[in-house]
Amino acid sequence: MYDGRGEPVPDAILELWQADASGAVVQQPGSLRRDGWTFTGWGRASTDALGHYSFTTVAPAAPFFAVTVFARGLLDRLFTRAYLPAAADDPFLATLDPDRRSTLVVTEPQPGGGYVFDVYLQGERETVFLSYPRH
Cα-based distances in Å from 127 to 11, 58, 135: 18, 24, 18
Let me know: does 65 contact 130? Beta carbons within 8 Å: no
Per-residue pLDDT, 132 = 85
| Rounded Cα gap, residues 48 and 53, in angstroms | 7
Question: Which residues pair with residue 82 across a beta bridge?
Answer: 65
Per-residue pLDDT, 109 = 74
Per-residue pLDDT, 56 = 87
| Residue 30 binned pLDDT confidence (cut-offs 50, 70, 90) | low
Cα-based distances in Å from 12 to 1, 39, 82, 107, 121: 8, 24, 17, 21, 11
| Rounded Cα gap, residues 1 and 125, in angstroms | 12
Mean per-residue pLDDT over the chain, rounded: 89
pLDDT in tens, 53-100: 999 888 888 899 999 999 988 989 999 999 998 887 899 999 999 899
Residue 126 scores a pLDDT above 90: yes
